Amino acid sequence: MIKPVRPTLFVGLMSGTSQDAVDAVLAEFPISGEGPPRLIASDSTPLPPQLRARLDALQEPGGGDLDNALQLHHELGLRFADSALSLLASAHAEPRSVRAIGSHGQTVRHRPAGPGPHSLQLGDAALIAARTGIATVADFRSGDIAAGGQGAPLAPLFHQAAFGNSGCQRAILNLGGMANVTFLGAGNAGPSGWDTGPGNVLLDAWAARHLGQPYDADGAFAASGRVHNSLLAALLDHPFVSRQPPKSTGREDFNAQWLERFLDRFGAIEPADVQATLAEFTAACIATAFVNRTNTEELLICGGGTRNRDLLKRIDRHLPGLAVDTTAKAGVDPQWVEALAFAWLARQRIAERALDTQRVTGARQPVILGCVYLP
């Protein structure tokens, strides 16, 4: 018996692997059935550079200091709570009108394979619940890992609910720090999906180093360079690229230190050419997902990478014959899709609905995802 969930307002909080900002949405879901939620309000609060630097340090190999991690867990919890409260204030919505908050948390480790599989997100949800007075769902990934899954990506389940009834063979691509693809199932078939590799993460790292900017605005830096074919071939040798799904990735696999090792090997390459090569590598990793999916008709893209025109052009070039657009075409602003996914996941948790992630993360059986912290 599934518990009815009313009222139907949920907050989604997303702070992804780009570590750029806390994205917050207030979403109203239909009382029954699926379909896209109504986006009532949205807000994005940038993470200050100093906090981003501390998160980077925590993720360097051997950079794990438990005291630092716990301090960040507390500080991020406060920030997430403040994001939710200012979102509600801007929407003139009372906290008591919101059924629950879904908080993704800030991933600082994602190692779903190996002897001690885990995925760790910081941002104290007990603190979010206490400060907002709203039940808060967090820790969405560990239940899936405990059931033998990758714990990621989880957004494909929401992509199916929001974009699944188009009548054509549709795929969704999220260009966040990492990139993940969803192939929507027709009829009652669930979605399949996986991480394809880097999204913006390598482009951001190289832009920070050579432009002193947090990202390559519009992809102009990459567009000004030329692809270095030997470097591209070496990058494509990464075992993640050819690994069969289910698969998921994070900053553990693709980061600035990993890139440095190749650059040492190839000697001096023009910085703009490196950026062009990284953009081409990102697009090529995405294209490999479509090799056995020749019946796909339409690709809708979401995430911050939709603002990188150069990257979108490269993806389009790799996928001839596919109609490529953003999720705006299906009525959902690409910037808010992932935050909406965590509002939707919170709703599933409150309804105690087990989610079938077998064709996405590879979990052995359907699992109720997330832990609920009551105020």
Q: What are the residues binding Mg ion (CB under 5 A)? A: 16, 18, 20-21
Q: Which does 353 bind (CB under 5 to 8 A by kind): ligand ATP, Mg ion, none?
A: none
Q: Is 176 in the site for ligand ATP (CB under 6 A)?
A: yes
CB of 338 to ligand ATP, least distance (A): 5
Q: Which does 217 bind (CB under 5 to 8 A by kind): Mg ion, ligand ATP, none?
A: ligand ATP
Q: Is 18 in the site for ligand ATP (CB under 6 A)?
A: yes
Structure tokens at 102: 């879904």
CA distance 208 to 211: 6
- Angle of helix 66-90 versus helix 125-132 axis, rounded to 10: 30
**Per-residue x/- marks for ligand ATP, 33-62, CB under 6 A?**
------------------------------
Closest to ligand ATP by CB, 5 or 107: 107
Judged by CB under 6 A, the number of residues near ligand ATP is 22
CB of 182 to ligand ATP, least distance (A): 12
Q: Is 217 in the site for ligand ATP (CB under 6 A)?
A: yes
Structure tokens at 367: 């699992």
Closest to ligand ATP by CB, 5 or 163: 163
Closest to ligand ATP by CB, 110 or 359: 110
Q: Is 305 in the site for ligand ATP (CB under 6 A)?
A: yes
Among 163, 215, 254, 342, contact with ligand ATP (rule: CB under 6 A)? 215
Q: Which of residues 328-357 bind ligand ATP (CB under 6 A)?
A: 338
Stretch that binds ligand ATP, among 13-21, 130-138, 272-280, 312-320 (CB under 6 A): 13-21
Structure tokens at 347: 């709703």
Q: Is 200 in the site for ligand ATP (CB under 6 A)?
A: yes
Q: Is 177 in the site for ligand ATP (CB under 6 A)?
A: yes
CA distance 76 to 63: 19
Positions in the binding site for ligand ATP (CB under 6 A): 14, 16-18, 20, 174, 176-178, 200, 204, 215-219, 303-305, 307-308, 338
